[in-house]
Amino acid sequence: MKIKRYVVREMQEAIRLIKQDLGPEAVIVSSYRVPSKGLAGFFTPRLLEVTAALDEPHEINLRLKRAPAQLTAAAGNTAGRQTHPAAPLPLKQQGHGGRTLYLTGGGHGAKQQGNPVNGRPAVEPGANADTGVRFVQPGHERGNLFEMIVNKEIGASRGEDLVINWREALLKMDVDENIVDSLLSDLGSESSQPGAESENAYLHIKRQIIRLLEPAYIQAPKARVLTFVGPTGVGKTTTLAKLATKLSLDEQKKIALVAVQTYRLGAMEQLQVYGDFLGIPVEVVMTPAELGRVLENHADKDYILVDTAGRSARNNGQLLELKSFLNAVGEPQDIFLVLSLTTKNRDLNKIVYEFQRIKCSKIIFTKLDETETFGSVLNVVNNYGMPVAYLADGQGIPDCISEAKPRSIAELLFRGVDPDETMAT
């Protein structure tokens, strides 16, 4: 059996190619509309994928011990005594699974026109010209076998395409290749109804992502001191202001703001504006000892949010200086590593790796509104085991920030992804 697939614009083109390649006996077993590759696929008409199959029956030639000449003689003797051709004699052949082989009239050298009856030749159509033996396969068995083989081939091909297309989609989301392989390891193992493959695959991958993230989200008591660290330009101060507004206005918590001021100019003024707006105290510290005293002075506060200057992950001196401030906190604290989703995957891994020296406990991703791919969120959690606490997607205070959970991260990854567009078979 030959099975071949064509991707064309119209069905007429597919029919022409099928006849050209497989002949007029081929049958169309499936056809689907598929999107074009890349971003252009969202703006161009869908292509048509057509799968055709050609059943190739196999003749079984049976070598008889009886010589062809003897068959001819026997046929000649019989022809003189009969007005009709002899009925085929069933010959059971154990070597062919108990199926029936039919010995028909006519042998080596027999003429096709010998005693035709009702226009039928003495040698049955499909019989071997030399031995007169042909294999007759029951029609219903042949049809079932053909259908079974086609369904098996199409199902296997569809499953392979499903994995290939979702693998390509996840890689385009910037998900690490090893994570993609893990998510797709058993895709397609569950049976599904035709036409539901894309939706089932989407739900399956989403569940796998949630399971992958859950170990990092083991519940731990929230600390009173919330410290924000990270590279320059990722939005630490703005993120702090968003959370401070939520805690103060929405949750009615008593809070204080602290700015670690070592070399950054203008940070104090920005933080003071937020403090004046919320009516909360703002402190500035220059040394680790000052930070310790300020925390003691605000022992009555529910939360103290500490803003720090941006540090380069490549500057060991700056990281050690930051660590000295964090060590001055004499109580449990949540250290939020603030990262921008516009940063390249490789650079993100480097930043998280280097900031592990100061024992960051949670991650905040900012600038979701400035990118179209969110695989980095999954990569960081999987590679370093730290949960993502918040996701910030704009400059609005306090609306443009939300708490992150495994389910919300899984939904974020598939933002704007249509399962039917991803499914190409």
Q: What is the pLDDT of residue 41?
A: 52
Q: pLDDT tens for residues 143-177?
A: 554 455 545 444 444 546 778 888 888 998 999 99
Place 117 in a pLDDT band, splitting at 50, 70 and 90.
very low
Residue the block writes with tokens 């007005």 = 83
Q: What is the pLDDT of residue 163?
A: 82
Mean per-residue pLDDT, 304-320:
90
Q: pLDDT tens for residues 187-236?
A: 755 544 444 456 788 888 999 999 999 999 987 778 999 999 999 999 99
In the chain, % of residues over pLDDT 70: 66
Mean per-residue pLDDT, 299-322:
91
Mean per-residue pLDDT, 125-129:
47
Q: pLDDT tens for residues 50-99?
A: 888 887 665 545 444 444 454 444 445 544 444 444 444 444 444 444 44
Of residues 47 and 195, more confidence is placed in 47
Q: What is the pLDDT of residue 62?
A: 46
The answer to whether the beta carbons of residues 260 and 225 sit under 8 Å apart is no
105: left (phi over 0), alpha (psi -120 to 50) or beta: beta
345, two tokens: 């995957």
Domain spans in the chain, listed from the N-terminal domain onward: 1-62, 224-420
The answer to whether the beta carbons of residues 389 and 362 sit under 8 Å apart is yes
Closest to 339 (Cα-Cα) out of 318, 370, 305 = 370
Cα distances (Å, whole numbers) of residue 8 to 13, 36, 49, 221, 224: 7, 11, 6, 59, 63
Confidence check: pLDDT of 269 > 50: yes
316: left (phi over 0), alpha (psi -120 to 50) or beta: alpha
Q: Nearest 5°: phi and psi at 159?
A: -65, -40
Model's pTM, two decimal places? 0.62
Q: pLDDT tens for residues 258-268?
A: 999 866 555 66
The answer to whether the beta carbons of residues 174 and 345 sit under 8 Å apart is yes
Confidence check: pLDDT of 396 > 90: no
Place 408 in a pLDDT band, splitting at 50, 70 and 90.
very high
- The CATH number for 224-420, chosen from 3.40.50.2300, 3.40.50.300, 1.20.1270.360, 3.30.43.10, is 3.40.50.300
Of residues 13 and 422, more confidence is placed in 13
The answer to whether the beta carbons of residues 53 and 150 sit under 8 Å apart is yes
